[in-house]
Chains A and B, each alone.
Chain A
Amino acid sequence: MLELTGLHKSIGGNEILHGVNLNIRKGEVLAVLGPSGSGKTTLLRCLNFLEKADSGSVTLLGSTLDMHTASRREIADYRKHTAFVFQNFNLFANKTALHNVTEGLIVARKMPKAEAEAIGMKALKRVGLANKADSYPSQLSGGQQQRVAIARAIAAEPDVIMLDEPTSALDPELIGEVLNVIRQLAEDGMTMIIVTHEITFARSVATDILFMDGGRALVQTDTKNFFEKNDNKRVREFLSSLNERMFLNENDESNKKNISHAHRGGPSHGKRSGMRKKRRRK
Chain B
Amino acid sequence: MNQRLADILLESFPRIFTQGLLMTIPLTVLSFALALVIAMLCAMIQIANVKGLRQAVRFYIWLIRGTPLLVQLYLVYFGLPDLGIVLPAFPCAVLVFALNEGAYCAETMRAAIESVPKGQLEAGYCVGMSYFQTMRRIILPQAFRTAFPPLSNSLISMIKDTSLAANITVAEMFMTAQRVAGRTYEHLALYAEVAVIYLIFCTVITRLQAFGEKRLARMNGGDVIRA
Contacts and interface: CB of A to CB of B under 8 A. Distances in A.
Contacts of A108: 127-130, 133
Interface centre among A49, A79, A103, A137 (most CB of B within 10 A): A103
A110 B41 CA distance: 27
Contacts of B125: 49-50, 79
B138 interface: yes
B222 interface: yes
Contact of B128 (A50, A90, A104): A104
Interface string A150-189: 0010001000000000000000000000000000000000
Interface residues of A, number: 30
B11 interface: no
Contacts of B220: 93-94, 136, 138
B221 A90 contact: no
Contact of B133 (A96, A107, A136, A137): A107
Q: Is the interface of A mostly helix, strand, loop or mixed?
A: loop
Nearest to A99: B137
A9 to B, nearest CB: 16
Contacts of A92: 120, 123-124, 138
B120 A76 contact: no
Interface centre among A83, A94, A107, A108 (most CB of B within 10 A): A94
Contacts of B124: 92
Q: Is the interface of B mostly helix, strand, loop or mixed?
A: helix
Interface string B51-66: 0000000000000000
A104 B142 contact: no
A54 B220 CA distance: 38
A75 B206 CA distance: 47
A58 interface: no
A193 B42 CA distance: 41
Nearest to B223: A138
Contacts of B129: 103-104, 107-108
A152 B129 CA distance: 13
Contacts of B130: 76, 108
Interface in A64-84: 76, 79-80, 82-84
A211 interface: no
A90 to B, nearest CB: 4
Interface residues of B, number: 23
Nearest to B136: A107
B133 A90 contact: no
B33 interface: no
B122 interface: yes
B75 interface: no
Contact of A79 (B128, B137, B223): B128
B71 interface: no
Interface in B102-140: 117, 119-120, 122-130, 133, 137-138
B210 interface: no
A137 B117 CA distance: 14
A50 B119 CA distance: 10
A103 B142 CA distance: 15
Given A88-B119, A96-B221, A103-B129, 18 more contacts: A50-B126, A79-B125, A79-B126, A91-B123, A92-B124, A94-B138, A94-B145, A94-B219, A94-B220, A103-B137, A104-B129, A107-B133, A107-B137, A108-B127, A108-B130, A135-B221, A138-B222, A156-B127
The 6 closest A-B pairs by CB, nearest first: A136-B221, A104-B127, A108-B128, A138-B223, A90-B119, A84-B126
Interface of A: 48-50, 76, 79-80, 82-84, 86, 88, 90-96, 103-104, 107-109, 135-139, 152, 156
